[in-house]
Structure 1
Amino acid sequence: MNAHTTTGFPYRVSRVMDATAARAWEAYTTAAEWQAWFGAEEGSAELDVRVGGRWKCVLLGPDGGRYPLGGTFLEVEEGRRLVLSMAVPGAPDEVMGVTFEEAGGGVEVTIDQTNATAEECARAREGSTMILANLAAHVER
């Protein structure tokens, strides 16, 4: 959990990747790279990676739908940790932490979040697991 977390249903998922922490950080904080692995519509990603900076994109769903996402960077520890809000239309804003740590010749990327309900937590955990799988595939190429 992080300083912005209140109460609810927390989860944490991690993945060790065959890349450096610097490489994973770059892929997570550079708009062109981020949209490539995150599943965003080409040209839709904007990342202003600084405390108070905004981020946004349009996700492309498997059904062909377009889903706008966005939020604010709440904490930025260069090369190590991001805490960002995530505004999803029709749902309460969430706060997600992403940590990058060197681990045994690779990097361990961890996502933590607390959700208002168990159902939201299950969906968010599934989404975070997919995020980490996509990031790993991108940085391990």
Structure 2
Amino acid sequence: MTTEQTTAEGFSYTSERTLESPVAAVWRAWTVAESYAQWSYAAPGSVEMDVRPGGTWKATMVTPDGGQFPLTGSYSEVDENRRLVIGMDVPGKNDPALMTVELAEQSDHRTRIVVAQTCDTADERDMAEQGTGMLLESLTTFLKTAN
């Protein structure tokens, strides 16, 4: 499920899914470089993560047509197995684009994941929302094979 909203602060979206994996497995997928690289469309060997408030990350993402683009950022909030606030450096902008990932343990070892982001324009939001949808699909597939 995805919702969109426009506010004075920008253009937001929220994507929510229930994953058939325990919260600890979902957390590891987002915070262990080797795991993240397997499902996030990152180039092999390009992911580095220092998952702590103020810690940095980097990855080179690979597009479906084979193009590559490097990304960098930092972690604003880290609450193990519950919440990550990830900043992505954006060329020409002083502040990073923030994405919030919230996890909640459900019954039967399932996890509810909510990903939210606010962007400056509707086009940026639409692209980020599409990217998040692709990531969540890939994460779902990865978790099915990793468990």
Kindly state the Cα deviation for residue 66 of structure 1 after the two structures are TM-superposed: 1.1
Q: Per-residue displacement from partner, 1:59-116 (whole Å, max 9, x unpaired)? A: 1112221110110000000111000111245777310000111123210111000000
Q: Which runs of 4+ in 1 moved over 3 A?
A: 88-93
Q: Per-residue displacement from partner, 1:101-137 (whole Å, max 9, x unpaired)? A: 1123210111000000111111111111111111111
The structure 2 residue matched to 1:131, chosen from 123, 135, 138, is: 135
Q: Say how many residue pairs are matched.
A: 136
Q: Which residue of 1 aligns with 2:144?
A: 140
Identity among equivalent pairs (%):
38
Q: Within the alignment, does 1:97 sit opposite 2:83 as a pair? A: no
Closer, same or farther in 2 for the Cα pair 1:140/1:19, shift >3 Å? same
Aligned-residue Cα RMSD (Å) equals 1.6
Superposed counterparts of 1:76-95, under 5 Å? 76-89=78-91, 93-95=96-98
- Which segments of 5 or more consecutive residues in structure 1 lack a partner in the other structure? 1-5
**2:9 corresponds to which letter in structure 1?**
T
- Bigger relative CO (Cα 8 Å, ≥ 6 apart): 1
Superposed counterparts of 1:2-41, under 5 Å? 7-41=9-43
Q: Distance in 2 between matches of 1:46 and 1:88?
A: 18
TM-score under structure 2 length normalisation: 0.87
The structure 2 residue matched to 1:107, chosen from 111, 114, 118, is: 111
Q: Within the alignment, does 1:119 sit opposite 2:118 as a pair? A: no
**2:11 corresponds to which letter in structure 1?**
F
Secondary structure class of the residue paired with 1:140: helix
- Which segments of 5 or more consecutive residues in structure 2 lack a partner in the other structure? 1-7
Q: Which residue of 2 aligns with 1:3?
A: none
Kindly state the Cα deviation for residue 58 of structure 1 after the two structures are TM-superposed: 0.4
Q: Distance in 2 between matches of 1:27 and 1:96?
A: 16
